[in-house]
Amino acid sequence: MPTPPPEPPTDDTPTVSATGVTGPEGLSGPGDDSALISEIENTVFSSGKPIAEDAAYSGLRPKELGLALRGQTINEVLLEEFVGGGGMGAVFRGIDLALQRTVALKVLSTHHATDEETRRRFEVEAQSAARLDHPSIARVYSVGEARGLRYIIFEYVEGANLRDLVAENGPLGVADALSFAIQITDALQHAWRRDVVHRDIKPSNILITRDGRVKVVDMGLARLKQVDEERHDLTASGATLGTFDYIAPEQARDPRNADARSDIYSLGCTLFFMLTGRPPFPEGTALQKLLQHQGDRAPDIRTLRTSVPRDMARTIARMLAKRPEDRYADPSALLAVLLQLAQRLGVSTGALAASRPIIGEELAWRRHAPWMIAASVLVGAWLLWPRFAPTPEPPPPFESTDAAADSPLMLAPPN
C-alpha cells in the first residue's frame, strides 16, 4: 500500500483537525496531559484578567493553549475537546449552548494576534468562508472576540480527510476519485463566482463525510479579489504560502499571481494523489519540489496506474499544465469536462445534482414569471371557456346545393 509523504506543517492544520479528523504528522493533539493542564490552569486563570492580557498566557504554545482552554466557555460555546494545534492557534470541538449543536471553534493565539499579517490572515479566513454558502464548503457561523481572544466558529464535520483515507486504505477507485473531484470543482466554481480563490487545495483540506460528500475546509490562505486587493492580500511581501506538494508554479513564484487556475493545478495534484497514493513530485526538499513544479513535466498517471482511463489521464495532464493559460480557464470549464467524463464512465453524480444551488434557476423563474403567469391565465381561460360560456343557438338547417355536393372537401353528405 503506497504511503503518502508527510505534508510540512502549515498554519492551517488546526482547521483540518477541527472536523474530527486526526491531523497530519507533527500536528499537536490531545494526550495524557493532566499534570500540564493543572499547571497551566493554575498559571493562566488565577489572575482573573482577560486571557489575552495575562502575561503567562502569551508564552503558551498551541497545544498548551488548547489544554488550558479545554472546558472553558467562549461566547456561549463550551470547549469540550481540544482536537489540534498549529501555527495560528488551537482548535476545539465544542457545544453551542444556545442552539445545542456541535461546532468547531478556532482560537488565534495572542502570540500571533500581535502579528499584523497573521491577524489579517485570520480575518480574511473568516470573511472568505462567510461569503460562501455551498454544501461542499464547511460553513462559518460567526467570528468575534471574547475574553481577549479572537475566534472563528465553524461547522463541525464528521468524517475523514483525503490524506488519511488514502494513507489507511490505499489509492481510491476511479469512480470515487472522479466523484470527489467533481464535488471539489463544484465548490471551487461557487467560490470563484464570488471572487474567492482558495490557494491551498490539498488532500488534508478535503474532508469526506460518512455519506461520501465532500467538504472543502480552511480558507486561511484564501484571497478575496476585491478592488482594494492590497488590503486583503496577505502575501504582499511575496512570501510563498501553500503546501509544496500541491502548489501551482505561478503561486510558488509569487502568490499574488494565484487565481482560480492555480486552484485547478492544486486540484490536479490532489486528484493525482487520490489515484496513485502520491503527489506528482514526491521526492526532494521543499526547494527541489518547488523547482520541479516550475520546470519538470508531471509523470503520465497511467505509468503509475494503468486502470486510469485515457480521457481522465488527459484531463489531469491539462490540469497540471505549467502555464495557467494552458489549463482549463476556470472551474466551470473543468466541471463540464469532468461531468462528461463521469457520464461516459457511468459514474453517478447524484450527490452533486442534489447539492447544486438553485439560485440561478430561481432568478430565471423570476425574470420570466410575468410572461409565464400571463400565458397561464390565457390558456386557463381558453380551457374553461366552453364550460362557462353561454350556449349559442343552433345554426339553421343545412341546405344542399349543387356546389356543395360537388366540392372536393365534402367527404360525406350532410344529414
The CA distance from 199 to 380, in Å, is 54
Annotated binding residues, written as ranges, equal 106
The annotation places the binding site for ATP at 106
State how far the alpha carbon of 267 is from the alpha carbons of 40, 283, 319, 396, in Å.
41, 19, 8, 80
C-beta pairs of 50-57 under 8 Å, 24+ apart in sequence: 50/147, 50/148, 51/110, 51/147, 51/148, 51/149, 52/110, 52/113, 52/147, 52/148, 52/149, 53/148, 57/110
The three grid cell numbers given for residue 58, joined into one nine-digit string: 502569551
CA 111 to chain centre: 29
Are 44 and 135 in contact by the 8 Å Cβ rule? The answer is no
Going by C-alpha positions, the residue among 82, 119, 77 that lies closest to residue 101 is 77
Catalytic status, residue 200? yes
Q: Which of 11, 164, 186, 200 is catalytic?
A: 200
Residues comprising the chain, all counted: 415
Q: Is 400 left (phi over 0), alpha (psi -120 to 50) or beta?
A: beta
Nine cell digits for residue 158: 464528521
Please, which residues bridge with residue 155 across strands?
103
User: Which residues are known catalytic residues?
Assistant: 200
